[in-house]
A and B are shown apart, each in its own frame.
Chain A
Amino acid sequence: MKRREFLKSTAMVTAATAATTATTMVSPVEAATHRAKVRSYNRLGSTDIKMSDISYGAGRLPSASMVLRAIQRGINYFDTAPDYGPSEDHIGEALKRHGQRDKIVIASKYCHPISYQSGKSHLQVGSGVDEYISAVENSLKRMGTDYLDIVFVHAIGEKPDYEHERDRLLDPDMLEATERLKEAGKIKYLAVSSHGPHNMETLMLDAVRSGKFDVIMPAFNFMKFPRVPDVLKEAHQRGVGVVAMKTLAGAKDGGISGEGTFEHAAFKWVLQHQEVAGLVISIKTVRDLDLYLAASGERFTASDQRVLDHYAARFGNEYCRTGCGDCESSCPEGVSIASILRYQMYFQDYGDEKHAMRSYAALDRKGQAEVCLSCQSAVCSGSCEHGLPLAAKLQAAHRDLSFSV
C-alpha cells in the first residue's frame, strides 16, 4: 500500500471514529478513566520499595501485553503466584520485552503450580527447606529473572485450626529457606497474605510481632474486618509494610461494580489509611486499567463516603460479607449459612436466579436451609456481628431458592 493510501484510510477510520465518539455521551467518569495513569507511589514499610498505590493482581493475567500496558500506565508492582495459571509465564515474557527489571516489583508465592500428586499448591508444614527453595527457583525460571522482590507465605488462615496455621506461618523450614534465598540474592523480602476466613487478624499480628516478615497483605475493605486497623497500626510501628487486597468487598464478584464511582470510593477508602502503601486489584482487561487507575492519587472525600454509605445501607445488614464466617459454627444442624445468604443475594439483588438456584441445589442436603423452616431454637440469631437477621433470611432463602410446584 502506498503511504498516501495508508494515511487516507487511517484518516477515514479516525474521522469515522471521531464522529461516532462525538455523538456518544461520555460521562465524567468515562472521560477521566480513559488512559488513566498512576499518580501516587508509596514507601512499603521499611523496604526500599516504592509501590504504585493501585497495583496489579495477576491472578487472571491474560497476556504479557497487559503487563506492558500496566507498566506504561505507571503500575510497578505485580502480584503473581505459580498457581495463577500462566501468570508467571506472561510476566516473564513481558520482562523480556520490557528490559528494565529493576524498575518493576515482582511478588510471588511459596507454592507450586497445581500439583497432580497432592492436588494442593500452597506449601504446607513439613515441605522442607529444599522444597521452599525449589518453589522460588522455579518461579524465577518461569519469569526469566534472577530475583523476586517479595515472596509470600500465601493465604494463611485458610484452615480453621489456628495452631496449624500459625505453624505454617512460622515454619522453621520456610524461615531457613528464606534466609538462604536472601543470602543468595534470590529474594529481597518475606511477606504473608491472608483473606481468612479464619483468624486473619490474629495471624497477621503474629506475623508482624514475629519480626520475620517485611510485608503483610491482608484482605481489607470498608465493609468488614474492623480489627484490621489495629493490625495496620502495629505493622506501621514496627516498620512492616502493608499491601491491601479484596478492597471491593466482594462487589466485583457479585456483579455490582463496573460504573467507576463505587470502585474509586472503595479504593480511596483503603488508601486513606496511611499505613497502607498500595492495594492489589485483579486486573484482566484494558477497561479494568482505565477504570481502576482513575482513582490513583485521589483523596477520599465526603462524596465517596456517601457512595459507600449508600452501598452499606443497601447491603449492610443484608449482605453476608464474603469470608467473614462468624456465623458458620453457630448452627448445630450444619446449615451452610454464609453460602446460602450469598446465593440469596444473587437471586434477589442481582436477578441471577438460575445461578442462585443451581448453586443452592448443589449444596449438600444437610447444608440447605430446609431445616430452618421448622427450627424452634434459631440459635444463629445474634451470631452475626453485622446484625443480619439470620433465621428469617435463611427461611426466605430456602423458599426462594428451592423450586416447588
Chain B
Amino acid sequence: MRAEAPVSVRVGLIFLLPIIGLAIYLDGLRQESERLRLPVEMRRSDPISQTLTPSKIPRFSRLGKVRYYSTDTLYEYINGHAEHYISAGFKALAVSEYRIESNANGADGEVEQPDLVVDLFDMGKPLHAFGILMDEGGGSLKAVDVGDMGFGGERNLAFFQSRFFFKVTGFRDNLDLISIGEFLADLVPKGSDDKEISLRFPDLGVVQSTKYIKEDFHGIDFMDSVLERSYHVADGGVVTAFIMLSSDQEIARVVESLRAFHDAEQISYGERRLGSLGLTRVDDPFEGVWHYHHAQGRLFGLFGVLPEALIPKLQQFLSSSDVAVSSSQQANNGTHEQDENNNPIQPEETSPQEENGSQPY
C-alpha cells in the first residue's frame, strides 16, 4: 500500500500552485515584451522603424511606402549579394525613396522617379554594421564624419550608427548627402547597444582596408568575430593584422583549438621571441608564414613579412595593456592618411623562399 504524503506537504503544494502560475504568467509577459521590443527586426508598426524611415527629410518628401525585406526576401532587392549580408549578421532592411519637394510632379500616369534612396539595414549589432560598412565603403568613396563612421562620394554615402547601416544614393548632383546622412544618424535612438567598436591596431603603414569577419575567419570555424586590417608597407608589400577580443578563457580555448587544427593539418608552428614577447610562428602552405600572440583577452595575428623597422612598433603594441580604442577616435586619427618609410629585412628564422623575396608557396 502506497504511503500518503504528509498533510503539511500537500498543503504546501497547494500554496505553490498560484506561485507557479504567477511565474508562468510573468515569463509569458517577458517573452511578449521581448517580442514587441524585437531588437533586431523591423516591422511597419515598430516605432524605431517609423522613426528611421521618416516621411520627410529636409528638402525631401518620401515617395510611396517603405519597402521591407527580411533574410528570406533580401535576395529580391540585392540578388546574390544577400548571402554576404546575411552572413554578416543582417536582420532586416527598410528601403525609402524620396523626391525633392521643389521638383515638379510628373505628368499624369508617369511613374515618379526618386531623387534619393535610403537603404536602412538593421545588422543586429554595431560591430556587424561596422563590418558591412568596411565591405561596402572604400573604393572611390572617401572617409566622412557621418554617424559612427562613414564613406561618401558625390552620389553615394554609406555610414553606420549603432547597429544600423545606411546606404544613401542620390540620383541628382549636388544633393548634400552629408547633411542628409547627419539628419538620419541623429534619428537613431541612443540605447544600450551603442557600444563603440574596439579598433586598436598597431601603426604599421598605410591602411588598405579594415574588415569585420563575423564567423569562420579564413575558413576556421572556431574563429569568429575577428577584426582585420591590411596595410601597405615598404617596397609595396602588404601585411594583414587581425584581432580577436574576448575573455582570457575564450582566447586560450581558441589558441588551443588553433594548435590542434595545425597538428591535424600537419602545419608546422613554433615559438619565436620578439624581445621579451613570445610569438607563435606558423608555416602554413595555404596562408604563408604568419605569427600570432595572445594575452589579456586578445589574440593578435599578422600575415606577411614585416619589415624590421616596424618590429619595434609591433613590440610596443603587443606590450601595451591598452587593448581597445573607440571607433570614433580611430576615425578621427585619420588612419587613411598615414605614410611610412621602411627598409625590408629578414626575420630571425628565414626560409629559402623568403630570402628570395617570394612567397613560401
Contacts and interface: CB of A to CB of B under 8 A. Distances in A.
B217 interface: yes
What band does the interface of chain B fall in when counting residues whose beta carbon is under 8 Å from A? 35 or more
Given A34-B264, A59-B84, A405-B32, 13 more contacts: A6-B271, A9-B271, A10-B270, A65-B284, A66-B286, A83-B80, A83-B81, A84-B80, A114-B78, A285-B221, A287-B221, A288-B219, A359-B71
B271 A62 contact: no
Contact of B273 (A1, A121, A154, A361): A1
Nearest to B28: A405
Contacts of B287: 65
B218 interface: yes
Interface string A75-93: 0000001011110000000
Nearest to A154: B80
- Shortest beta-carbon contacts, A-B, top 5: A85-B84, A65-B286, A63-B218, A66-B219, A6-B270
Contact of B135 (A10, A14, A86, A364): A86
B78 A284 contact: no
Nearest to A109: B80
B70 A362 contact: yes
A121 B80 contact: yes
Interface residues of A, number: 56
A342 B70 CA distance: 13
B260 interface: yes
A9 B216 contact: no
Interface in B255-296: 259-261, 263-265, 268-273, 284-288
Nearest to B171: A117
A81 B81 CA distance: 9
A289 to B, nearest CB: 8
B48 to A, nearest CB: 14
Interface in A81-109: 81, 83-86, 97, 109
A342 B218 contact: no
13 contacts: A6-B270, A35-B265, A60-B83, A63-B219, A68-B285, A84-B83, A97-B359, A119-B117, A121-B79, A158-B79, A287-B221, A361-B35, A361-B38
Contacts of A34: 264
Interface string B81-111: 1011001000010000000000000000000
A247 interface: no
B120 interface: no
Given A17-B263, A65-B286, A72-B286, A286 B219 contact: yes
